[in-house]
């Protein structure tokens, strides 16, 4: 953070986007169920997904507080609705880490509201409009995605668009919320 601040003279936006992601649907082995999961595996996912978000926020907030403004966009997603899909078995630690990011975002947003730091969470995208030619595609391909699965997924370029530019300009009334982009506008997700 010091290098970025020294180089540019300020830090206006932080996008927290890191994660160890399960790609079960695309041919990779399922992660263990919680009863069988090793603590070091659980810890590694949490350290990357949740602790990484914490550390980046912890170290950028002082810069944003000093300048009296900033935007933090955390990639947290998911909901608490039970999934009955067999392909979700083994994703518990991932899902919990991303839900925790949403809760963490809401609480830190309260702490930083008086500093004019807008903190939101959002998913990366990856949903096609119903009935579109891409409706059978799901998720975003990463480096770990098997080649044969990439055709069934979105590329980063297809889903990102201007979502992070819009989030980097989110008004303070959205701070603490899970947001998405619909029809080119930021909206609060409920649930």
State pTM to two decimals: 0.83
The CATH code of the domain that includes 35 is 3.40.50.720
Q: Is residue 30 part of a domain?
A: yes
The span from the CA of 175 to the CA of 188, in Å, is 10
The residues, ordered by sequence, that sit 6+ positions from 86 with a Cβ below 8 Å of its Cβ are none
Domain count, the chain: 1
pLDDT confidence of residue 126: 54
Q: How many CB atoms lie within 10 A of CB 52?
A: 18
What range does the domain containing 42 cover? 2-124+163-188
Low-confidence ranges of the chain (pLDDT < 70): 22-28, 79-87, 125-139, 156-157, 159-161, 191
pLDDT of residue 31: 83
Does residue 112 lie in a domain region?
yes
């Amino acid at each position: 953070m010091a290098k970025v601040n020294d180089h540019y003279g300020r830090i206006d936006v932080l996008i927290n986007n890191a994660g160890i992601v399960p790609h079960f649907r695309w041919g990779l082995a399922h992660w263990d169920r919680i009863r069988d999961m090793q603590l070091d595996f659980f810890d590694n996912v949490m350290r990357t997904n949740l602790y990484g978000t914490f550390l980046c926020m912890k170290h950028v907030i002082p810069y944003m507080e000093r300048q009296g403004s900033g935007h933090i966009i955390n990639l947290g997603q998911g909901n608490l609705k039970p999934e009955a899909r067999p392909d979700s078995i083994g994703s518990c630690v991932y899902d919990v880490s991303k839900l925790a990011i949403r809760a963490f975002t809401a609480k830190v947003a309260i702490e930083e509201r008086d500093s004019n730091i807008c903190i939101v969470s959002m998913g990366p995208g990856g949903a096609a409009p119903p009935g579109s030619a891409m409706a059978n595609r799901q998720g975003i391909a990463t480096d770990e995605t098997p080649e044969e699965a990439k055709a069934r997924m979105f590329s980063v370029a297809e889903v990102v668009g201007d979502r992070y530019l819009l989030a980097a300009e989110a008004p303070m009334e959205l701070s603490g919320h899970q947001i998405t982009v619909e029809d080119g506008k930021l909206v609060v997700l409920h649930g």
